[in-house]
Amino acid sequence: MDSTELDRNAAAMVAPGKGILAADESTGTIKKRFDKIALESSFESRRAYRELLFTAAEAERHISGVILYDETIRQQAADGRPFPALLASRGILPGIKVDAGAKALAGFPGETVTEGLDGLRERLAEYRALGARFSKWRAVIDIGAAIPTPTALEANAEALARYAALCQEAAIVPIVEPEVLMDGDHTIERCEEVTDATLETVFDALFRHRVRLEGMVLKPNMVIAGKKCPKQAKPQQVAEATVRCLRRRVPGAVPGIAFLSGGQSEAEATLHLSLMNRVRELPWQLSFSYGRALQQSTLEAWRGNPGNVAAAQRVFLRRAKLNGLARDGSYEAAMEQAAA
Ligand code: 13P
């Protein structure tokens, strides 16, 4: 294992002022996103959309890396350049989603375990040859009356740790993503309790599997009330609860934490990140690895129309820039109107 390269790339992924674009929607998920703009999902429409994102001028000022899907890492821009090479030429690290999705955990109704470990060593070698320098594996933890169970947390943590160890063996930085869902009507306190238990279990497994903390990036949920909870927490409360929870559970050797947006609006996700970055003396970088919160307005501006590409790229750049500002706490909610 080349720990120097791993550590260097992990630090680059969470470099100040920048964050990660999650453009790794599976074929099923991107179809759902395209359905909302009444666009047919095809090999070509998916390619055209990713080209729009990856060629947006100046994006490299705010975007450190892009997570790709298996189909996308093999696709090319209209001028024939493979997407990973195009990104690398702009100083953006190409990444790859390697999990095979969350599947029902036998014996545990309502809970899942993420699959994809079989053959992973060989797939990582291929992805590395295709240009991937980091990867992502997402575990999904749902909150309910009697879930999550310790067994589901442990099964998911074990898979995350085995994945992370295999990535580091292949000189690929693992993004370790345990996502506690914001679906449901749970309170922010319940989210904090479950996120705390999840992170404790995940870091315990990472230690046992000898994962090098300096060469990984954590991608957690923010601590936030469930979407259907009648008592929604204020942005400052979300920021404080999230930082408190992470401080208790994430060792300072981890270079950075890149949040998922998980169903928050673009403005909410940016504001929460900015507020968190106003907290002083954090041991790690606090960054973003947003999917929906970086793409929603871009998709709406594009709508599959080639004539809208330039306008959609401007929308994307603006969103990336606002999140870049949130990296040091200098984003203000009022900028949404000002920059519109
Ligand atoms: P969202 O930001 O849309 O939650 O997506 C991030 C991601 O990569 C989830 O795995």
Q: Active site includes 321?
A: no
Residue position matching structure tokens 């690929």: 172
Is the CB of residue 292 below 6 angstroms from any atom belonging to ligand 1?
yes
Is the CB of residue 92 below 6 angstroms from any atom belonging to ligand 1?
no
| Residue 33 backbone phi and psi in degrees, to 5 | -65, -40
Q: Active site includes 219?
A: yes
Q: What percent of the chain has pLDDT over 90?
A: 98
Is the CB of residue 293 below 6 angstroms from any atom belonging to ligand 1?
yes
* Per-residue pLDDT tens over the stretch 106-163: 999 999 999 999 999 999 999 999 999 999 999 999 999 999 999 999 999 999 999 9
Which residue's CA lies nearest to atom 9 of ligand 1? 260
Polymer length in residues for the chain: 340
Work out which ligand 1 atom sits closest to the CA atom of 290: 2
Question: What is the pLDDT averaged over residues 302-319?
Answer: 98
Question: What is the pLDDT averaged over residues 292-305?
Answer: 98
Q: How confident is the model at residue 284 (pLDDT cuts 50, 70, 90)?
A: very high
Q: What is the pLDDT of residue 257?
A: 99
Q: What is the pLDDT of residue 1?
A: 54
Q: What is the SS3 string spanning 135-184?
A: EEEEEEECCCCCCCCHHHHHHHHHHHHHHHHHHHHCCCEEEEEEEECCCC
- Report CA(79)–ligand 1 centroid distance (Å): 29
Does the pLDDT of residue 2 top 80, yes or no? no
Question: What is the pLDDT averaged over residues 88-105?
Answer: 98
Say how far apart CA 239 and CA 262 lie, in whole Å. 15
Q: What is the pLDDT of residue 339?
A: 53
Question: What is the pLDDT averaged over residues 256-278?
Answer: 98
CB 94 within 8 A of CB 88: yes
State both tokens at 192.
Answer: 């904090």
Say how far apart CA 122 and CA 100 lie, in whole Å. 15
Q: What percent of the chain has pLDDT over 70?
A: 99
Exposure b/e, 6-39, CB count within 10 A at least 16 = b: bbebbbbbbeebbbbbbbbbeeeebbebbeeeeb
Q: What is the pLDDT of residue 287?
A: 99
- Nearest alpha carbon to residue 273 among 207, 324, 316, 211: 324
Is the CB of residue 62 below 6 angstroms from any atom belonging to ligand 1?
no
Is the CB of residue 260 below 6 angstroms from any atom belonging to ligand 1?
yes
Does the pLDDT of residue 205 top 80, yes or no? yes
Which is catalytic among the residues 25, 111, 158, 177? 177
pTM exceeds cut of 0.85:
yes
Does the pLDDT of residue 69 top 80, yes or no? yes
- Report CA(5)–ligand 1 centroid distance (Å): 26
Question: Which of 257, 260, 292 to probe ligand 1 with, by most ligand atoms within 8 A of CB?
Answer: 260
* Three-state secondary structure call for residue 64: strand
Say how far apart CA 300 and CA 26 lie, in whole Å. 19
Question: Which of 261, 288, 298 to probe ligand 1 with, by most ligand atoms within 8 A of CB?
Answer: 261
